[in-house]
Chains A and B, each alone.
Chain A
């Protein structure tokens, strides 16, 4: 019983250490580029899912999941890690864009489940609008 308890404690400590190591890791430009590629591919997945109506919208849902994963990563990193110095003042804008993306993705997911393809397309357009909005403001 004591061994089991100790193993349990060990797992908790290891998890905490992994989490803090992850949190202290700097989000580099390479990470950002990788994430942007993931986002671009995910948007492509959603578009293909809409165009070819893949089985049970699996592609659309998978694209949504990919974007959300990236958003959750970016939420945890310091804005100074992924914004250039002259753009640092726009960190609240970047955060807001993330929230809006999440809102439209949730809505898109709900509409997939409700079987409303027109609304899925509508929300896809709104997500794309947020992408361009952020690029317009933050990309050189």
Chain B
């Protein structure tokens, strides 16, 4: 590449980053130990296409939306209490990252990738073996409810501590989906924090994408602009929870 072309390209790239910081999508290892990947900022909308308001979330209900890819399901929950803040977590390879805490007025709204880090169990339109079990519920995966449970192999994760793995064969926590709530009570998904299983998932469930998303490649596409939020009971026909 000629010197002039190189300088031109560098200038354009720098301008792009200044205008749209969310275009930086590589993994960031910050000084404070964060392991974070940003994606295009997505607004969460209800089934009718209206902005989904944080204050309309029902306590402890499982809400599903797909992010950052068209086929990667996430579960958002408004917990009964504020989460812990600045929780230090570790991925299976020893990388440390810090869960900053829930969002919303009470700091109780959290979202996690609904792909179990153990063997990638996840909700589909047919069934879901993965969900948050409300405090009043029961699970054989952990000594108490109020945790995310993968009912395939009975791993449990606590949302109050940033999706930390607390029981079962999984070896690391859930990927947190970083949310923002703006002054108008709108909810935005902006990135993913922690160990990501998206690549393994996309690799393992390609055949499934044909059935649910109309093609292998379509399932891999990044979500743009907005994502629809639906209660898990409306997303999956059969909820299986042990």
Contact = CB atoms under 8 A, between A and B. Distances in A.
Q: Say whether A associates with B.
A: yes
A92 interface: yes
Interface residues of B, number: 16
A89 B206 CA distance: 29
Contacts of B152: 93, 96, 133, 137
Given A133-B119, A136-B169, A137-B153, A92 B127 contact: yes
B153 A104 contact: no
A90 B242 contact: yes
Interface string B143-158: 0000000011110000
Contact of A103 (B127, B151, B207): B207
A14 to B, nearest CB: 37
Contacts of B206: 107
Nearest to B238: A92
B119 A129 contact: yes
Contacts of A93: 129, 151-152, 240
A35 interface: no
B96 interface: no
A126 interface: yes
A106 interface: yes
B208 A103 contact: yes
Contact of B153 (A96, A122, A133): A133
B127 A96 contact: yes
Contacts of B207: 103-104, 106-107
When A and B form their complex, which 4 residue pairs have the shortest distance between CB atoms, in order from nearest? A107-B207, A92-B240, A103-B207, A133-B119
Interface of A: 89-90, 92-93, 96, 103-104, 106-107, 122, 126, 129, 133, 136-137
